[in-house]
Each structure stands twice: as structure tokens, then as C-alpha cells.
Amino acid sequence: MTAARITTARRQRRPWGRTRGTIAVAALLLSALDHLTTALIGWPPVAYVTRRIAAPIGDAWRSAAWRTTPAGPIAIITIRTTPAPERTTDDANPAR
């Protein structure tokens, strides 16, 4: 008995399939290395510490992004057209 070919179309591969697979394997290996280092040193995992640090920063960012703030006071800038007086060493003396 011979196998009959159902279609002549070529099998299509996703263009980024191998790249995504490689990235997934690299992430798995880095995670394993992180956990092994954690077990040897005794410190918490880097991913855990990063999430603990990034969570409050992300919360503050999200709450500030949606907060409407009233306009602040107007700042008045004064520009002097005359040159500043010459300073001497006596200027630092508060007695004068």
C-alpha cells in the first residue's frame, strides 16, 4: 500500500517561531540560574526583588497618570537690568 499525498502545498512556518522559542528557552535557563544562585547565596530571587521594587513605582505612576491636578500658582520672574554689585570678602560677614 502506498501513501497518497493529500495536498501539494508546502508546510508554512510562522516567521518568528524559532526566535520566540529561543527566547523562551533563554528565559527558562536564566530563571533556573537565578534560582540556583539564590539557593547557594541565600538571598531572594532577583525577579522577586525586582517585582517588589517595581510594584509601588508602577502603582504611583498609574495613579499619577489619571490624577487631575489644579493649576499651580503663577511664578513671577524678576529680571534685573542693572549689573549686580561687586562682591567682596566682607559680604559674607553678617555683622555689616
Tens digit of pLDDT for each residue in 11-32? 676 777 888 889 999 999 998 9
Number of compact structural domains in the chain: 1
Q: Show the domain range for 41.
A: 16-66
User: 94: which residues sit within 8 A by CB, 6+ positions away?
Assistant: none
Give the rounded percent of residues in the chain with a pLDDT score beyond 90.
8
79 lies in a domain? no
Taking Cα atoms as reference points, which of 66, 61, 34 lies closest to residue 47?
Answer: 34
29 within some domain? yes
Asked whether residue 38 is assigned to any structural domain, the reply reads yes
Q: What does the alpha-carbon distance between residue 43 and residue 22 come to, in Å, rounded to a whole number? A: 28
Structure confidence at residue 91 (pLDDT): 56
What's the mean pLDDT when you consider all of the chain?
77
The fraction of the chain above a pLDDT of 70, given in percent, is: 62
**pLDDT value of residue 38:** 86
